[in-house]
Chains A and B, each alone.
Chain A
Amino acid sequence: MKLSPLQRLDIAVRQSMPVVVTLLLAVISVVPIGLPASSSLAPDIVLIAVFYWTVHRPDLMRAWTVFVIGMLSDVLSGTPLGVHPLVLVLVHTVIISQHKIFRGAAFGVVWWAFSLIAPAAHAVTATVAFVAADVAPDLSVLALRLVLTIGLYPALAWLLGRAQRALLAAV
């Protein structure tokens, strides 16, 4: 079956949704929201989005797009350049390599996997930032942020799931 240009455009737009949404979250994550300690404790929504899409639609969340997302995140947040690309590409690779576990897995399993990967990712981020740029994290803040990130996963995953069903069910 041959597709008309409009149909192809429609599919392309739909398929770019995961990356666009994740880039948007990277921008949103640096906006100040005016809550106490929100700047340092804000959950890592970029990690959640990259994790979610790599688990559920690895065909639409490629390693190089993950790299670009990490770059934007670094540039906007002022993190030493290269830290987030490195960590996110590692996360992406780990998920891809364990893809059999995730295929058709229940939500609980995916969340459990996230709660294992997120601490590892943050530990690598902190270590790399320390080695690359001499910036040491406040460990208690790091731990609290991690708890908030894992806690937010179900809510954000639900939203992303809605978007996935609405736009990507057919493509």
Chain B
Amino acid sequence: MKRPGPVSRFAAPIRLYGQRFAFLGLIAAAVGMMVLGKAETQLVERMRMVVVDAFVPVLDAIARPVATVNDLVARVGEVVHVHAENARLREENERLLKWQAVARKLESENRSLREILRFTPDAPVSFVSARVVGHAGGSFLRTVLVTAGERDGVAKGQAAVTGDGLAGRVTEVGERAARVLLLTDINSHVPVVLETSRDRAVMAGDNSERPKLLFLPSTARPEIGERVVTSGHGGVFPPGIPVGIIAAAGDTSVRVQPFVDFDRMQHLRIIEYGLGGTLQVSAPPPAPRRGRR
């Protein structure tokens, strides 16, 4: 095409047909991929994670300097605000000491009550920490890639948390990488409970910043600012993980502002919850999930 010579008179039409054929072939291949992705979910997922495994070291290498720069910027900000921050922390410390006294008292009370009731304690919780190295780009997905996989004990369905609260759930696992579906993704459904009223609901993402609450009892009167925590129903998440606060409580929809800042999180803890593993094998994820897994 660049240097038209005497050959091109014959070659050009052939080449054109070749290109058309290649085009149709590639389109067919792409559509085939989509069909395969729907029909052979397990297989496609395996293949995906093999490729992701291969790329995770590269992603990690790129993510680290980016994280370092972010930390530096944050540190500069901290130095600027050190005075105000100090005052705030002093105040908070005072308040927390009071809470500590309350907690100690409640703990001892709790222990004695449990002894009286012969209460079965919650299943033990263990966790692995992983670095966030990949974000799903685009406007219709809310997932992240983390640098922990099967070899670290990560399994499908486990909860991913930050220091602030619940971030999401593991949906795909590779050898040394895993994909976490964030709370805001349209496929995310988490059984939750409102902390003070104890009303149960399912928190469903819709790709916006604030997931909405479904199946709230009609008598429930959620108040703005009320905390939302996991209920532990379905056995996937441990109960009581902070999720967020009620941000909007209209007649038609109640929305939750998650505690986790999804854009800034650099590390995630993947929680292995005693019950989750066994329930995952026999039952599908608790919420009805259509389409992509």
Q: Do residues B19 and A96 form an inter-chain contact, with CB atoms below 8 A?
A: yes
User: A150 → chain B, closest Cβ, in Å?
Assistant: 15
Contact residues of A between 126 and 171, Cβ < 8 Å to B: 126, 128-130, 132-138, 141-142, 145
User: A127 → chain B, closest Cβ, in Å?
Assistant: 11
Given contacts A35-B263, A77-B141, contact A135 B136 (CB under 8 A): no
Given contacts A30-B137, A42-B137, A64-B26, contact A135 B263 (CB under 8 A): no
CB 8 Å contact bits of A78-98 with B (1 = contact, 0 = none): 111111011001100100100
User: B168 → chain A, closest Cβ, in Å?
Assistant: 12
Q: Is B262 an interface residue (CB 8 A)?
A: yes
CB 8 Å contact bits of A96-135 with B (1 = contact, 0 = none): 1000000000000000000000000000011011101111
Q: Is B99 an interface residue (CB 8 A)?
A: no
Q: Is B5 an interface residue (CB 8 A)?
A: no
Given contacts A136-B186, A136-B207, contact A34 B291 (CB under 8 A): no
Report chain A residues within 8 Å CB of B30.
Answer: 67, 70, 82-83, 85-86, 89
CB 8 Å contact bits of A26-38 with B (1 = contact, 0 = none): 0111111111111
Report chain A residues within 8 Å CB of B136.
Answer: 30, 39, 77-79
**Residue of B38, B52, B55, B134 most packed against chain A (CB within 10 A):** B134
Distance between Cα atoms of A28 and B207 in the complex (Å): 22
CB 8 Å contact bits of B272-293 with A (1 = contact, 0 = none): 0000000000000000001110
Distance between Cα atoms of A3 and B257 in the complex (Å): 64
CB 8 Å contact bits of A16-56 with B (1 = contact, 0 = none): 00000000000111111111111110101000000000000
Report chain A residues within 8 Å CB of B66.
Answer: 31-34
Report chain B residues within 8 Å CB of A39.
Answer: 135-137, 142, 144, 262-263
User: A169 → chain B, closest Cβ, in Å?
Assistant: 14
Q: Do residues A133 and B291 form an inter-chain contact, with CB atoms below 8 A?
A: yes
Distance between Cα atoms of A89 and B143 in the complex (Å): 25
Q: Quick check: which of B57-65, B84-92, B114-122, B158-166 contacts chain A, the rest being far away? A: B57-65
Report chain B residues within 8 Å CB of A81.
Answer: 33-34, 36-37, 44, 48
Distance between Cα atoms of A126 and B207 in the complex (Å): 13
Q: Do residues A145 and B139 form an inter-chain contact, with CB atoms below 8 A?
A: yes
Q: Is B110 an interface residue (CB 8 A)?
A: no
Q: Do residues A89 and B292 form an inter-chain contact, with CB atoms below 8 A?
A: no
Total A-B pairs, Cβ < 8 A: 171
CB 8 Å contact bits of B44-58 with A (1 = contact, 0 = none): 100010011001001
CB 8 Å contact bits of A50-70 with B (1 = contact, 0 = none): 000000001100011001001
Report chain B residues within 8 Å CB of A35.
Answer: 263
Q: Do residues A135 and B292 form an inter-chain contact, with CB atoms below 8 A?
A: yes
Contact residues of B between 1 and 21, Cβ < 8 Å to A: 1-2, 19
Distance between Cα atoms of A65 and B287 in the complex (Å): 39
Given contacts A89-B30, A133-B292, contact A126 B139 (CB under 8 A): yes
Q: Do residues B134 and A31 form an inter-chain contact, with CB atoms below 8 A?
A: yes
B38, B141, B209, B263: which contacts A38 (Cβ < 8 A)? B263
Please give me the 5 A-B residue pairs with the lowest Cβ-Cβ distance, nearest first.
A82-B33, A134-B291, A86-B30, A39-B135, A82-B34
A-B contact pairs, 27 of them (CB 8 A): A30-B137, A32-B63, A34-B264, A34-B266, A37-B209, A38-B263, A39-B136, A40-B137, A40-B142, A42-B135, A44-B137, A44-B138, A63-B26, A67-B29, A76-B134, A76-B145, A81-B36, A82-B33, A83-B30, A90-B27, A125-B138, A129-B140, A132-B37, A135-B207, A138-B139, A145-B138, A145-B139
Known: A34-B263, A83-B30. 10 other contacts (CB 8 A): A32-B133, A34-B264, A36-B263, A75-B51, A76-B51, A78-B136, A82-B29, A135-B141, A138-B140, A138-B207
Q: Which A residues contact B (CB, under 8 angstroms)? A: 27-40, 42, 44, 58-59, 63-64, 67, 70-72, 75-83, 85-86, 89-90, 93, 96, 125-126, 128-130, 132-138, 141-142, 145
Q: Which B residues contact A (CB, under 8 angstroms)? A: 1-2, 19, 22-23, 26-27, 29-34, 36-38, 44, 48, 51-52, 55, 58-59, 62-63, 66-67, 70, 132-145, 172, 179, 186-187, 206-209, 262-264, 266, 290-292
